[in-house]
Amino acid sequence: MVLVVALVVVVLLLLIRAAGVGRRGRPQLRPLPAESRDRYINDWDEIETKFVDAPEQAVREAEALVMSVLRERGHPLTERDLPTEMQRAHKLGYMSKDRTEGMRQALLHYRALMERMVGPEAQARREPRRREMA
């Protein structure tokens, strides 16, 4: 009887694994259309410009923009599946003791994620316009 139960459990585990349930690999992301990529780049440039005068607003907008990119590319938006940069940026932006430095660090994490999600062609086009955040 115990052998039968163990065999059933093993078969179930193999079936679950074969179906991909619980798989935590990288999600298959759709490429962004050129017009979306350009719109996201322009929106990001506006957010970085706002940071000096309104850092909290810029961080909120950066988070929303990154979520839009992830959504459009088909990324799962559950908290456990969000990219590490997104999770770190959220914590830094909203829970840091030094609010200004936390928001600056958050924006840097969002920027890194944007550059990764928007794609290499956009990174090459953005490079001359990229602002430095000391």
Confidence of residue 130 (pLDDT cuts 50, 70, 90): low
Least confident of 21-25, 56-60, 116-120: 21-25
Mean per-residue pLDDT for 93-107? 84
* SS3 at position 51: coil
Checking if the pLDDT of 38 tops 60, the result is yes
Mean per-residue pLDDT for 23-28? 60
Residues 14 and 107: their CA atoms lie apart, in Å, by 42
How confident is the prediction for the chain on average, in pLDDT?
Answer: 77
Number of C-beta neighbours around residue 115 at 10 A:
17
Give the pTM: 0.68
**108 burial level (CB within 10 Å; 0-12, 13-18, 19+):** middle
Per domain, the residue ranges of the chain are: 34-129
Provide Rg for the chain, Cα atoms. 20
pLDDT at 125: 53
Structure tokens at 39: 């719109």
Mean per-residue pLDDT for 31-48? 92
pLDDT in tens, 42-96: 999 999 999 999 999 999 999 999 989 988 988 877 777 777 788 888 888 877 7
Residues 82 and 117: their CA atoms lie apart, in Å, by 12
Closest to 49 (Cα-Cα) out of 134, 128, 131: 131
Cβ contact 10:17 at 8 Å: no
